[in-house]
Structure 1
């Protein structure tokens, strides 16, 4: 099952600690982004993979080419000669996707046994292209 999440890719932010209440919480921006990923999966007609199956995930993060780039540099980005070596870190982007799809695309992210995660430049706006599949043993 493949689906698209519109908007510039984001990473999972570190948990925050409230000194007032003594609790740990996830920042609101991360919570909203995970909801957006979940909604995109469900809107695409995604079904949960059973808990006794292995899961494979591919995440392609597409970033908008910076407007400040020269014509030559923009062309290199469009032909994948230059790739986005910038924030968010690839592991934080992947973590946001895995956590967002927990209990929706699969029972628990411990079922995920294969991962491909890549960063690219997009000719238009940023987005995520995510593929979730069952992996045969």
Structure 2
């Protein structure tokens, strides 16, 4: 059983969460590119889904679609669109999920610890982007 569901799209090439960097003085910081991408994710969520905050245990499905490189032949491009050639390249699926889920903390849900089911799919499309679907699951109160 499921409850409310939100869906939104983040246009552009999928990015992963970059590792924290350290200053010479030992302070950790998130790279500017990751901070900007997290803001882009949040902006698209608000524009497309509003300010809905989901409750309880959640299921997240993330479909990261990569653009087809211009250097590929027509035959290779066709195979990529048909799913015959899959994107076994960076960013890793777990880093894509991390940047999406972390950026939605305090917005789509209180904390990404509420995500109890996660599916990440990588494929090729003519228009790159990340499709995100998050839905409430019934049958658990969480915080246990």
TM-score (norm 2): 0.89
In the alignment, which residue of structure 1 is the partner of 2:142? Answer: none
Tell me whether 1:72 sits opposite 2:75 in the alignment. yes
In the alignment, which residue of structure 2 is the partner of 1:119? Answer: 122
Tell me whether 1:27 sits opposite 2:34 in the alignment. no
In structure 2, distance between residues paired with 1:49 and 1:129: 17
| Structure 1 position 76, deviation (Å) | 0.4
Alignment match of 2:87 (pick from 84, 88, 92): 84
Please give the secondary structure, in 2, of the residue aligned with 1:19. coil
Alignment match of 1:131 (pick from 120, 130, 133): 133
Stretches of structure 2 lacking an aligned partner (at least 5 in a row): 1-5, 140-144
In the alignment, which residue of structure 2 is the partner of 1:3? Answer: 8
In structure 1, distance between residues paired with 2:95 and 2:125: 20
**Structure 1 runs, 4 residues or longer, greater than 6 Å off:** none
Alignment RMSD (CA, Å) = 1.0
In the alignment, which residue of structure 2 is the partner of 1:13? Answer: 18
Tell me whether 1:96 sits opposite 2:92 in the alignment. no
In structure 1, distance between residues paired with 2:33 and 2:63: 21
In structure 2, distance between residues paired with 1:82 and 1:116: 20
Stretches of structure 1 lacking an aligned partner (at least 5 in a row): none
In structure 2, distance between residues paired with 1:55 and 1:8: 25
In the alignment, which residue of structure 2 is the partner of 1:49? Answer: 54
| Structure 1 position 135, deviation (Å) | 1.1
